[in-house]
A and B are shown apart, each in its own frame.
Chain A
Amino acid sequence: MNPYQICFSRLNRAALIPFFVIGDPSYDVSLQLVKAAVDAGADILELGIPFSDPVADGPTIQKADLRALKAGITPAKALQFIREITAYKPIPIGLLVYYNLLVQYGTERFLQDFKKAGGTSVLVADLSIDDAEEIALPAKNAGLETVFMATPNTPDERLRRIAEKTTGFIYTVSLLGTTGEREALSNAVRPLVARLKRLTDKPVCVGFGISTPQHACEVARAGADGVIIGSRIVKFIEETPDNPDKMQENIRRFLLEVRTALPSKSPKGTSNS
């Protein structure tokens, strides 16, 4: 079993997956915050390497990328960061990266180094399954899992292909749009998760726009195996720029709230509708 399968099978609820941009707002503070998230009960971490042109991201994560770049974060430093996190506590780590950063480092070499640092999976934001061969073999050779995105406008036939190419989990995008907080959970989530569950046994984690414990709870009830929360967490960093302890406390408290709100899965064999 891969680290995700172990994680999902142990939990009797949806996995809690916070997202951070590595090095936001600085290497040291970011390390402090991610460790705090692990201590607050994150089951999996989704970490991003900052990029100058993050087209899949809304304003909150764009600003986080800029802060991290200003702090001098490079792919090499990001790998060092991941080593420090996995040394602190073993936890599955999914990487979210824009393709050009891999291309410049060398995809094969980067994935080998990421595996050595303790990483679990890689998701390239701007690489679709049509070009899966550019990432799938290097990931396999490095011993990493692959994660691909599915969106509300992805047709069934393509969802099947996405499931086939995915060895980690399917990153299910809850809405048409970029990352960012939303008032209400998109009503595309439930049908998309249902479609995926009908088409595949691969784990389904939902992200984009999940901003409150209530949203997380709804996503879990829709049948997701994991809930990814990015912009809401990154926003805590933006909100108190000069006070790392406050950031940490806000993130810790928020993650505890979300974890408490996540419903237990119904025992196997019974309906959870």
Chain B
Amino acid sequence: MKSKGRFGPFGGYYVPEVLIPALEEIEAAFEQFRQDPNFLKDLNALYTDYAGRPTPLYHARRFSEAVGFIVYLKREDLLHGGAHKINNTLGQGLLARYMGKTKLIAETGAGQHGLATAIVGALFGMETKIFMGATDVARQNVNVHKMKLLGAEVIPVEGGTGTLKDAINEALRYWTAHVEDTFYLFGTAGGPHPYPTIVRHFQEPIGREARQQCLEKAGRLPDIVTACVGGGSNAIGIFSGFLNDPQVQLVGVEGGGKGLHTTQHCATLCTGTVGVLHGARTYLLQDENGQIRDTECISAGLDYPGVGPEHAYLKETGRARYVSVCDEEVLDTFFLFSRMEGILPALESTHALAWLWQQKGLLPPETIAIANLSGRGDKDIDIVEHHRPLTARFL
């Protein structure tokens, strides 16, 4: 490996020996093609004509009025597939294609990364297998159905709590046996090097565009940029555009589940400790012996006991701060935001909106905040209905 992929003390590639040659191959290909004019031309064409980039920066007027400061939304929910995930799957899928790989595998939690991988698998004519925890298969069945329609095979993973962590374990296991012809299209800005760097790279358009659009629309940089953090790919994507602007506060919002006083949450950076999981040294939710804890969160896409190593580094250096909101606050915000802005936000992204809602009345009115609306909420309507049935609320 040319680089160890460290972010301060975090990151690295702590994997069984059998995976090293595959990671080295991907690192070398990424370094080669990221600057390759043909690759860039192909990728930019796909971003523009297929995915729908650039996405708008939208001034959410009614929500702004309600919280008492200016809120812009980076509309990644308008992308093909309904979430930011397509930025990364187009990038890595194209990389796989340039490398001559014919098969894709991916893990998925909420199903958005699985869906975005299935889309790219179909687009490039690659055989695609999606590993998904059995619990997530049950709670995100719309996405499962979509992936199958697109021709991907969805493999339910029974181990552990049947969530994202278990899907990653199983995808890694499958990969060790199929490294020679299979590209592991990793979904979040975590895992072993070079994935945190690759995923960040392909998500950087979010931050680059948001910075430029804010300068154009508001005439200045924002005061706050906020995004939800599970593994942290949408957050690192938007944060990356503002890392060199020290006056811009970066706020990552984790899944507080039933509350941080319980064990039923996935607020890794807020409450976790440093360890090694899925190839990276980073913050983890674990017991005192180093066994990884079960997590719980209303939002499947945040339900993960680790976090991308660059976020661990941004926390450690104080460049970003990490907070959490709990399930009930997320549901409250989901309803009020939907009815204020006419947008159903993904429950993941709603975490960032719920944190902004908590700031209501606390910030000067000229404050400008950008929230990354990383995905749309259609996939979540069954979950919302389960927790807050419409019949009970509005009839």
Contact = CB atoms under 8 A, between A and B. Distances in A.
What bracket does the count of chain B residues touching chain A fall in?
35 or more
Contacts of A99: 14, 276
A53 B21 contact: no
A128 interface: yes
A236 B15 CA distance: 29
A130 B159 contact: no
Contacts of B4: 130
A62 B278 CA distance: 16
Interface stretch (B91-99, B118-126, B140-148, B283-291): B283-291
Contacts, number: 107
B173 interface: yes
A241 interface: no
B392 interface: no
Contact of B14 (A127, A175, A176, A177): A127
A51 B287 CA distance: 12
Interface string A96-123: 0001111111000000000000000000
A233 interface: no
A99 B276 CA distance: 7
Interface string B1-29: 10010000000111111101100000000
A130 B275 CA distance: 18
Contacts of A149: 16-18
A267 B196 CA distance: 53
Interface stretch (B176-184, B212-220, B221-229, B244-252): B176-184
B272 interface: no
A100 B176 contact: no
A130 B289 contact: no
A22 to B, nearest CB: 13
A150 B17 contact: yes
B101 to A, nearest CB: 15
A175 B277 CA distance: 24
B289 A101 contact: yes
A165 to B, nearest CB: 12
Contact of A104 (B13, B172, B281, B290): B290
B150 interface: no
Given A55-B173, A75-B290, A103-B275, 15 more contacts: A51-B290, A53-B277, A55-B278, A99-B276, A100-B275, A101-B290, A103-B281, A105-B289, A127-B14, A149-B16, A176-B18, A176-B178, A177-B18, A177-B173, A178-B173
Interface of A: 51-58, 62, 69, 74-75, 99-105, 125-131, 148-151, 153-155, 158, 162, 173, 175-178
Interface of B: 1, 4, 12-18, 20-21, 159-160, 165, 169, 172-173, 176-180, 274-279, 281, 284, 286, 288-292
